[in-house]
């Protein structure tokens, strides 16, 4: 095992896959010589050279078009969109072209490509560089969507995403880049569509994603210590495919479900989880299904306001505690 | 009510008679003539079937514009890539898409080339290098770059040709794509089919320069090329030059082919916004009678040309029967091919 930061794990995952598959290439703004604005691609240009690691102009449509066209003609691609907010300027590529072309051509084309992007808040960047937009991607048929919370999962899911024959939107959380974790020093390959029970418990299930996972874990520890409430925490990890088996089995055990979502409230991913549990596990429930989310607002820049907006350890703690009382 | 039809006509240039003596093999020219006939007769039939309510939705026809597709089709290698727009029937057929499955797709039948899931605006046949018809303006120029980039990386020598309309030159993706293509020296040829109208609006009214593509070429370090898009020989020569240079590593090209659509933008459009004089003048420049006369002038027998026309008519009849005989797709097809495992499964 080696201790890596989450940002180092991004590069490690990409490097592992580029070593395995000499046809795999990557492109994006400042990804090569600069090593990425978040330093998530440091060392890749040196190891793999400028033909395989390409700096691009600020042209998000051209970046994703290049990724789509190359992947449909035999060259797998990892494309970076620097901030997930910028997905909005190339959403046609994602939602209309990459996601739909396989279906529209009745399976004539495949898109083995990964679109990596820095998602999420808590970095005081304001409304256009902080959004959590995983729910945008989740609602488009044809895409797969993952968002790791640990360095080990980052490597494992990167490998799984690259090896998957479908387009995968890979959300890296910008406020997790500095966090550290153990990563095995052998080849690491995860699977899309597998949630992880990161803390076992019996009184309530809390489903969280990305930055919300460590917050949910901390809240769970406090609930145990201070209130004697035993919380099971699920790291959803993969929104599409969605591991509903793990979710439903957990709710069957705990009879309560809370979701902790950084995306703004309306149509967040937790609403889908809750609707599934409401339909399929209703008679196992002991109480309401509860969503803990960012409000329906653009994110503010000021630290005090942003901290109020995004679900905090305290908010998770208080919500679970008062709901179970 | 203001009516664009009262604006001054934009008349075609006369045929460049020198093209008759251009160095093009006569067999190639006959093949181009067959292609022109295929595109014309197929689309006229598609139009008829629409009027019979057998083709649903909409169609965007290339009637009058066939010389661009036929000229390029003749200049491309079988493994080259084509990217087209929703006005893509001609480009698909010019790459050899079989007429039966193409017509069946227009009719929404399960024996269509896309199983009825794509329709008129998305004709695709990867086996023929027809990499798709894209119905949202601009995107496919960027996607064409990707196919060209892939060919460059694989050293395959394939060239990508990307067709689009004059209206596309005013969307951001056009500019992003041309810049990246030039910076990366991609083997891609961008072809603007300038039919003078962005849907219902004259392109010159809404574009900062007179030639919407050619006048932008210099911005991306490209040569400004305007070709008579109603002369198949002129198109074929320009295509051969640009494709040949791209294949040799000379980088991208941008060609503006001046042409005119006989009908409206889509089935919903009677195209009454065009001056009558203009419509009539362009009708005189219809590429097919012109090319017919040119081939006669080059010594091809009338009987040989009419034989081609009859053969194509029989092919179109057969394609129509094939399409009409197809089943409507069933619910089984509804949920397939969303993902590469063939399913639409998003959960376990």
Tens-place pLDDT, residues B135-173:
999 999 999 999 999 999 999 999 999 999 999 999 999
What does the pLDDT average to over B121-134?
Answer: 98
**Considering only CB atoms, which chain A residues are within 8 Å of B346?**
141, 240-242
Q: Give the closest-approach CA distance of A241 to chain B in angstroms.
A: 5
Whole-angstrom distance, CA of residue B69 vs CA of residue A110: 26
What does the pLDDT average to over B3-25?
Answer: 93
CB atoms within 10 A of CB A166: 22
Nearest Cα to A295, choosing from A325, A315, A318, A320? Answer: A315
Catalytic residue list contains A173: no
In this predicted model, what pLDDT tens digit does every residue of B170-197 receive, in sequence order?
Answer: 999 999 999 999 999 999 999 999 999 9
ipTM over 0.95: yes
Q: What is the reported pLDDT for B272?
A: 87
CATH number of A196-324: 3.30.450.20, 1.20.1110.10, 3.40.50.920, 3.55.40.20? 3.40.50.920
Superfamily of segment(s) B25-321: Thiamin diphosphate (ThDP)-binding fold, Pyr/PP domains (3.40.50.970)
Q: Closest to B154 (Cβ–Cβ): which among A75, A109, A110?
A: A75
Q: Does the distance separating the beta carbons of B141 and A73 come in below 8 Å?
A: no
How big is the CA angle at B187 (ends A56 and B233), to the nearest 5 degrees? 140
- In terms of phi and psi (left: phi > 0; alpha: psi -120 to 50; beta: otherwise), the region of A309 is alpha
Residues of chain A with pLDDT under 50: none
Q: Does the distance separating the beta carbons of A241 and B124 come in below 8 Å?
A: no
Reported confidence tier of residue B1, pLDDT bands at 50, 70, 90? low
CATH 3.40.50.970 segments of chain A = 2-183
Alpha helices in chain A (DSSP H): 6-20, 44-48, 60-71, 91, 101-104, 134-138, 151-163, 212-222, 244-254, 269-280, 303-309, 313-324
What does the pLDDT average to over B271-295?
Answer: 95
- Segments making up each domain of chain B, as ranges: 25-321
Catalytic residue list contains A60: yes
Q: Does the distance separating the beta carbons of A57 and B176 come in below 8 Å?
A: yes
E strand or H helix that includes residue B84: strand B81-85
In this predicted model, what pLDDT tens digit does every residue of B50-81 receive, in sequence order?
Answer: 999 999 998 999 999 999 999 999 999 999 99
E strand or H helix that includes residue B296: helix B287-297
CATH class, A2-183 region = alpha beta
In this predicted model, what pLDDT tens digit does every residue of A106-145 receive, in sequence order?
Answer: 999 999 999 999 999 999 999 999 999 999 999 999 999 9
Average confidence score pLDDT of chain A: 98
CATH 3.40.50.920 segments of chain A = 196-324
Q: Closest to A107 (Cβ–Cβ): which among B150, B153, B337?
A: B337
Nearest Cα to B253, choosing from B233, B228, B212, B225? Answer: B225
Marked catalytic residue, from A17, A29, A97, A129: A129
What does the pLDDT average to over B78-99?
Answer: 98
**Considering only CB atoms, which chain A residues are within 8 Å of B344?**
141
What does the pLDDT average to over B268-284?
Answer: 91
Reply yes or no on whether the pLDDT at B264 is more than 90.
no
Q: What is the reported pLDDT for B269?
A: 86
């Amino acid at each position: 095992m080696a201790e890596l930061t989450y940002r180092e794990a991004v590069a490690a995952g990409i490097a592992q896959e580029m070593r395995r598959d000499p046809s795999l290439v990557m492109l994006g703004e400042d990804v090569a010589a600069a090593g990425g604005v978040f330093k998530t691609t440091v060392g890749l240009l040196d190891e793999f050279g400028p033909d395989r690691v390409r700096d691009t102009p600020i042209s998000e449509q051209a970046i994703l078009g290049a990724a789509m066209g190359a992947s449909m003609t035999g060259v797998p691609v990892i494309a970076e969109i620097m901030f997930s907010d910028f997905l909005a300027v190339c959403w046609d590529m994602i939602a209309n072209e990459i996601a739909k072309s396989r279906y529209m051509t009745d399976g004539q084309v495949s898109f083995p490509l990964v679109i990596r992007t820095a998602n999420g808040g808590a970095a005081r960047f304001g409304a256009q560089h902080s959004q959590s937009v995983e729910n945008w991607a989740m609602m488009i048929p044809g895409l797969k969507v993952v968002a790791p919370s640990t360095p080990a999962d980052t490597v494992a899911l990167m490998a799984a995403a690259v090896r998957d024959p479908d387009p995968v939107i890979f959300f890296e959380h910008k406020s997790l880049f500095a966090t550290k974790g153990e990563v095995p020093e052998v080849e690491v390959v995860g699977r899309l569509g597998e949630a992880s029970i990161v803390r076992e418990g019996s009184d309530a299930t809390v489903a969280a994603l990305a930055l919300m996972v460590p917050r949910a874990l901390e809240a769970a520890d406090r609930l145990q210590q201070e209130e004697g409430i035993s919380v099971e925490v699920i790291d959803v990890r993969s929104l599409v495919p969605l591991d509903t088996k793990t979710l439903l089995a957990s709710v069957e055990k705990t009879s309560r479900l809370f979701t902790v979502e950084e995306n703004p409230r309306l149509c967040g991913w937790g609403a889908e989880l809750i609707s599934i549990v409401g339909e399929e596990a209703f008679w196992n429930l002991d109480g309401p299904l509860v969503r803990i989310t960012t409000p329906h607002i653009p994110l503010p820049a000021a630290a005090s306001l942003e901290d109020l907006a995004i679900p905090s350890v305290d908010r998770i703690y208080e919500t679970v505690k008062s709901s179970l009382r | 009510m203001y009516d664009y039809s009262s604006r001054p006509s934009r008349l075609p240039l006369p045929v460049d008679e020198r093209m008759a003596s251009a160095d093009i093999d006569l067999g190639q020219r006959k093949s181009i003539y067959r292609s022109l006939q295929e595109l014309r007769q197929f689309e006229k039939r598609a139009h008829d079937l629409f009027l019979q309510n057998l083709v649903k939705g909409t169609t965007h026809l290339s009637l009058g514009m066939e010389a661009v597709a036929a000229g390029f089709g003749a200049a491309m290698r079988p493994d080259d890539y084509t990217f087209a727009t929703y006005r893509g029937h001609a480009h698909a057929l010019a790459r050899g898409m079989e007429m039966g499955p193409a017509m069946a797709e227009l009719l929404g039948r399960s024996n269509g080339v896309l199983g009825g899931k794509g329709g008129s605006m998305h004709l695709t046949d990867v086996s023929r290098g027809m990499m798709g018809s894209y119905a949202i303006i601009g995107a496919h120029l960027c996607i064409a770059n990707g196919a060209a980039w892939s060919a460059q990386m694989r050293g395959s020598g394939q060239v990508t040709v990307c067709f689009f309309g004059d209206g596309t030159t005013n969307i951001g993706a056009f500019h992003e794509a041309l810049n990246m293509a030039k910076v990366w020296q991609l083997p891609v040829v961008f072809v603007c089919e300038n039919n003078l109208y962005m849907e219902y609006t004259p392109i010159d009214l809404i574009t900062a320069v007179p030639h919407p593509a050619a006048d932008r070429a210099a911005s991306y370090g490209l040569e400004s090329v305007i070709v008579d898009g109603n002369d198949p020989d002129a198109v074929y020569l320009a295509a051969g030059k640009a494709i040949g240079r791209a294949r040799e590593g000379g980088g991208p090209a941008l060609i503006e082919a001046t042409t005119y659509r006989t009908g409206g933008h889509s089935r919903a459009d009677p195209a009454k916004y065009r001056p009558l004089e203009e419509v009539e003048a362009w009708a005189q420049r219809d590429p097919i009678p012109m090319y017919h006369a040119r081939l006669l002038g080059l010594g091809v027998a009338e009987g040989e040309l009419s034989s081609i026309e009859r053969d194509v008519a029989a092919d179109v009849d057969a394609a129509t029967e094939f399409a009409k005989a197809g089943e409507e797709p069933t619910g089984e097809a509804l949920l397939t091919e969303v993902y590469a495992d063939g399913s639409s499964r998003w959960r376990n």
